[in-house]
Amino acid sequence: MAVVKNLGKEEIEITLEDQQQINTFARQNTRMEELKVEIETKKNDLKNLEDASDELLMVEESVISYKVGEVFIQMAQEDIEDHLEKARTRMKDEITSCEEQFVEIQEVLKSLKAKLYGKFGNSINLEADEE
């Protein structure tokens, strides 16, 4: 069991439970940062899909080259429209799922902050560094 001085006042005992809560906070905080990046990336991907759908409306050809992975395949315009619509729907669902996870993690972090600041006060810093 470790002991931390509380800014020269009294000593505070760090229990295993405290350490586990600090570790959980760190892991959840890291996951939240990863989700921020993932949500932003997915929103950009969604915008690209929407732009592709808009561009497709201006094409007057019946067969169009469509890139799948590293390969271009020839597809009918209607098939591409269907494919893009499904991809947009899937991307919106993924964004919603990530945003829900983000909110859940925020609640966990809020609860842990309250507990840890309640016990350790200014002896612990749980705020993100400004870049």
Helix (H, G, I), strand (E, B) or coil at 6: coil
AA identity, residue 40: E
Sort strands 71-76 and 63-68 into parallel, antiparallel or unpaired.
antiparallel
Nearby residues of 31 by Cβ (< 8 Å), 6 or more positions away:
101, 105
Share of the chain above pLDDT 90, in %: 56
- pLDDT higher than 70, residue 8: no
Q: What mean pLDDT, rounded, does the chain reach?
A: 87
Between the CA atoms of 59, 61, 63 and 64, what dihedral angle is there, to the nearest 10 degrees? -30
Q: How far is CA 39 from the centre of its chain?
A: 5
Please say whether the beta carbons of 43 and 102 come within 8 A. Answer: no
Q: DSSP H helical segments within the chain, as ranges?
A: 16-57, 77-120
- Grouping H, G, I as helix, E, B as strand and the rest as coil, residue 14 is strand
Q: What pLDDT digit, counting tens, does each position of 47-57 carry?
A: 999 998 898 88
pLDDT of 30 > 60? The answer is yes
121/99: higher pLDDT: 99
